[in-house]
């Protein structure tokens, strides 16, 4: 086996890994790396029919991304009671991962709870508490396969009026996970002190 064959096998391995990746962005990156690896390998060997095929696959890949960017997902927030069966079962099923991000969460009847629906599929949950015009985000969790910020952008950037209808002018959240902190910053939250505690804060315009 020659050194360049290692590149071919590596491209296969990366492509297979893409099938098992949870996030949409992760899958796209892995598939793109695999395609480019095959193209380089097939040109160096050379195996021109494979190279032509890979260029066709690359074109189809970018066409798929373009088509996906033009189609809008249907995202909805459905308010439910704190003891709603969907909420209870969802937390039970994803308990380990939820508490990895929100280790101090405790259910309470005063919480305002939402189901995050994407294309009529239950993608996640949003659990909050409201005190005056301030909403504290207790849990904001989506399934791994939906972590592409599309739902977050819909909630926090495109529809702030939804919260304002509830009398909310400020959103605050504590973060105990680096990934959650990065997400909050992307959603326009700023880390600052609030009531002598460090929170991520977003003022609703």
Residue-wise pLDDT for 136-175, tens only, equals: 999 999 998 888 788 898 889 888 888 888 899 999 999 9
36-73 per-position pLDDT tens digit:
888 888 888 888 888 888 888 888 888 887 766 655 56
- Which residues fall within 8 angstroms of residue 53, CB to CB, at 6 or more apart? none
Please enumerate in sequence order all residues whose Cβ is within 8 A of that of 123, keeping only pairs 6 or more positions apart, or say none: 116, 117, 142, 143, 146, 151
Average pLDDT over residues 192-203: 89
130 pLDDT higher than 90: yes
| pLDDT of the residue at 91 | 94
Residue 125 pLDDT more than 90? yes
Dist. CA 172–CA 135, nearest whole Å? 6
Q: β-pairing, 197-203 with 134-142?
A: unpaired
Number of H helices, E strands in the chain: 8, 7
């Amino acid at each position: 086996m020659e050194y360049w064959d290692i590149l071919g096998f590596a491209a296969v391995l990366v492509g297979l890994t893409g099938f098992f990746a949870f996030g949409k962005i992760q899958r796209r990156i892995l598939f793109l790396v695999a395609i480019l690896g095959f193209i380089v390998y097939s040109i160096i060997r050379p195996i021109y029919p494979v190279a032509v095929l890979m260029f066709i696959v690359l074109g189809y890949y970018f066409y798929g991304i373009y088509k996906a960017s033009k189609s809008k997902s249907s995202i909805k927030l459905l308010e439910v009671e704190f003891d709603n069966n969907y909420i209870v079962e969802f937390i039970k099923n994803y308990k380990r991962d939820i508490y990895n991000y929100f280790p101090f969460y405790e259910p309470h009847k005063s919480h305002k709870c939402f189901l995050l629906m994407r294309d009529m599929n239950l993608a996640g949950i949003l659990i909050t508490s409201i005190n005056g015009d301030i909403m504290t985000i207790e849990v904001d969790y989506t399934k791994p396969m939906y972590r592409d910020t599309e739902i977050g952008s819909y909630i926090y950037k495109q529809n702030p009026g939804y919260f304002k209808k509830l009398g909310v002018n400020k959103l605050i959240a504590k973060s105990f996970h680096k990934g959650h902190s990065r997400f909050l910053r992307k959603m326009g939250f700023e880390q600052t002190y609030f009531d002598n505690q460090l929170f991520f804060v977003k003022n609703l315009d």
